């Protein structure tokens, strides 16, 4: 069996490609119209949207994401005292999550497990992502790693990273020997 390389969209969303000839092989009475599929696809492509900016060159110092791993969607914002990261992680147990910080980068890893096995022929749509996912974020300011708190409520992960007070000057006593 040849392995088909997944598209960028498939990697991010976890969607799977459906074989166009599945309807002929399965003997479907009313296969979906290719005209309808093209029309529906064009409805989502707006000519007013400018093309995306080119990707910056790859920096090898960042962790490399596995090809079969999904990318976690996040919101990152700041309050007066904290940097806050929020992400929807429905269906994931807290023990299946790993939040780690290294220098100025935080990484969230986890796995969403499917509780039943369903063959690909039985899917009409498969848009939910099942499997491993991760996301690394370079922090915009210095934080206090020993005071980071992570909590999950109603399927939303919230990570609070207290900002380090870099404006405060600390006086250091010089001792003589």
What residue ranges define each of the domains in the chain, with the CATH number in brackets? 8-162 (2.60.40.790)
Distance CA 20, CA 58 (A): 34
Q: Provide the pLDDT confidence category of residue 148 given band limits of 50, 70 and 90.
A: very high
Neighbours of 162 (CB within 10 A): 16
Instruction: Copy the structure tokens of residue 157.
Output: 């992960």
| Tens of pLDDT, residues 94-146 | 888 999 999 889 999 998 888 888 888 888 888 888 888 999 999 999 999 99
pTM over 0.85: no
């Amino acid at each position: 069996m040849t392995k088909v390389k997944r598209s960028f969209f498939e990697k991010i969303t976890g969607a799977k490609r459906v074989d166009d000839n599945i309807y002929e092989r399965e003997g479907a009475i009313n296969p979906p119209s290719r005209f309808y599929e093209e029309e529906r696809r064009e409805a989502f492509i707006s000519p007013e949207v400018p093309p995306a900016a080119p990707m910056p060159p790859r920096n090898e110092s960042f962790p490399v994401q596995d090809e079969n791993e999904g990318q976690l969607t996040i919101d990152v914002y700041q309050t007066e005292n904290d940097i806050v990261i929020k992400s929807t992680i429905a269906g994931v147990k807290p023990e299946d999550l790993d939040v780690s910080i290294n220098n100025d980068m935080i990484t969230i890893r986890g796995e969403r497990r499917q509780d039943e096995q369903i063959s690909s022929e039985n899917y009409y749509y498969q848009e939910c992502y099942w499997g491993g996912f991760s996301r690394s974020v370079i922090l915009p300011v210095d934080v206090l790693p020993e005071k980071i708190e992570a909590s999950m409520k109603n399927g939303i992960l919230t990570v609070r990273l207290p900002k380090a007070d870099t404006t405060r000057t600390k006086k250091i006593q010089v001792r003589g020997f």
